[in-house]
Structure 1
Amino acid sequence: MSPLYIGCAGWSLPREYWPLFPDTGTHLQRYATQLPAVEVNSSFYRPHQPQTYLRWAQSVPSAFRFSVKLPKLITHVQRLQHCEGLLDEFLAQCLKLGEKLGCLLIQLPPSLAYDAAIASEFFRILRQRYAGTVVLEPRHETWRAASGLLIEHRIGRVAADPSPITGGTTPGGWSGVRYWRLHGSPRIYYSDYDVGRLQVLAQRMRSSMEEGAETWCIFDNTASGFAVGNALSLRALLEPSG
């Protein structure tokens, strides 16, 4: 089946989960012994040195993958326009992850409506520079009209929970990648996902893998520490005996 990547937004380990991880190594090294992927959200707020990405890559197993979020300077300040230089700087940093760079995440501000010309130009300059997996999390209803453009540029639309977009809780865009991003609901960043919801999600992800799509699930409900437990539980459900 196709690759499966389950992880959290960041590699913080709440104290209650420490017994499930080794007690030596960096937080990232300990995290990577039990989960196969992580989403780097700090790159949204500030740049990281290329040497930092290289160090991260060298500290995890060969099959581990990073998803890296594009900077807010590109998505929220420039709003996808006139950002070639910023994109070059960002890629020069995160490409130091090498083959362990699994995905780029583009999260758009809720105020950014779909403009076909702007989106097309941005995706064009991105694809000139990066051929790997890319996913988009739009948060304005008008982006429902972008499916054809996303397919053209091989970009998956994130299945977000919760999502402000009609149909946004299921993956869209290019079908070669399906990326679930679970923020926590009903209380965003805080709510736990119970076993029933995880079982439904596991079945959807299993179907995604059987259909040949690269399949991701990132838990962003980190504020109360539930993300790690949810990710471990989902991974157990998707193991051959799960």
Structure 2
Amino acid sequence: MSYYIGTMGWSYDFWRSHLYPKDASSDEYLEYYSKIFNSVEVNNTFYRMPRVQVLEGWSEKTPKNFKFAVKAPRKITHSPSLVYDVGYLEEFLRRIRGLEEKLGPILFQLPPRLKSDKLEAVKSLLAALPTDLLYVMEFRNNSWFSNPTYRLLEKYNVSLVQTGEKSEQVVSAGHLYFRWEGDRRKVDGNLGKVEVDRYETTRMWAEKLNGYLRQGMEIFGYFSKFYSGYPPEDAAQMLNLLRKN
């Protein structure tokens, strides 16, 4: 029974004086972060190929049990009709393997424009992935939420990302992945403080997660800055709630 809880990203200057010391440099953020949380979702890999030296630095700054959930490049997930550069994907996977035991799930976040008529393209992508890594997939078009999609994910042991929408009750793999986004219209997210009290919502989610943990599931969950405005508080609340059970 294991769970990894954290935030979407860690390099935020407006978390200084709260999560980080006031005089901390950005190079020190991850080390401070990893003393409190055991995982983080990496977003910058979505925009560019990660450099080997950067990955090595992340690994050196974090404890042995820390996990990096890594977002797959948009060059793969957002390619027209999911026709992607195979060599680019292979190089991406080769590099992030450098994280070794600290590599958590790889997140494939598909664009809203991609509809379920591209099921075969998704199947081809999943079939091409090495089977020794963990994968999760987030669909942002409602046409995907149906049995053919769920069966495909189950076949390849890929977790359907749960966001609190229609997908929340669907289990397609032994590892589960949660992304708590919040409402960008109501939360600024750049103030470095809680803007909306979400404790009761977090508590309800913790009850669901504990149910999954009792079934032997492995949990990964990450809070956005738009959830309450201050994701370190949300992640800390979730960890405290899970530890009580």
SS of 2:120's equivalent in the other structure is: helix
The 2-side partners of 1:130 and 1:85 are apart by 18
So what's the TM-score if we normalise by structure 2? Answer: 0.86
So what's the TM-score if we normalise by structure 1? Answer: 0.87
RMSD: 2.5
Aligned match for 1:178, one of 152, 176, 179: 176
The 2-side partners of 1:230 and 1:224 are apart by 7
The 1-side partners of 2:144 and 2:160 are apart by 10
CA contact (8 A) 1:158 1:172 kept: no
Report the Cα offset of residue 12 of structure 1. Answer: 2.9
Alpha-carbon distance change, 100 to 21 in structure 1, aligned in 2, over 3 angstroms: farther
CA contact (8 A) 1:202 1:237 kept: yes
CA contact (8 A) 1:9 1:41 kept: yes
CA contact (8 A) 2:176 2:218 kept: yes
CA contact (8 A) 1:135 1:156 kept: yes
Alpha-carbon distance change, 108 to 8 in structure 1, aligned in 2, over 3 angstroms: same
Structure 2: runs of 5 or more not aligned: 190-194
Structure 1: runs of 5 or more not aligned: none
The 2-side partners of 1:85 and 1:220 are apart by 31
Q: Which residue of 2 aligns with 1:153?
A: 156
After TM superposition, list the pairs within 5 Å mapping 1:1-242 onto structure 2: 2-12=1-11, 14-18=15-19, 26-114=28-116, 115-126=118-129, 129-145=130-146, 146-161=149-164, 163=165, 167-168=166-167, 170-185=168-183, 187=185, 190=189, 192=196, 194-221=198-225, 225-240=229-244
Report the Cα offset of residue 131 of structure 1. Answer: 2.0
Report the Cα offset of residue 225 of structure 1. Answer: 4.5
The 1-side partners of 2:197 and 2:107 are apart by 23
1:34-80: CA deviation from partner (whole Å, max 9, x where unpaired): 00000000000111112211221121011110000000000112443
206-215 or 182-191: bigger deviation: 182-191
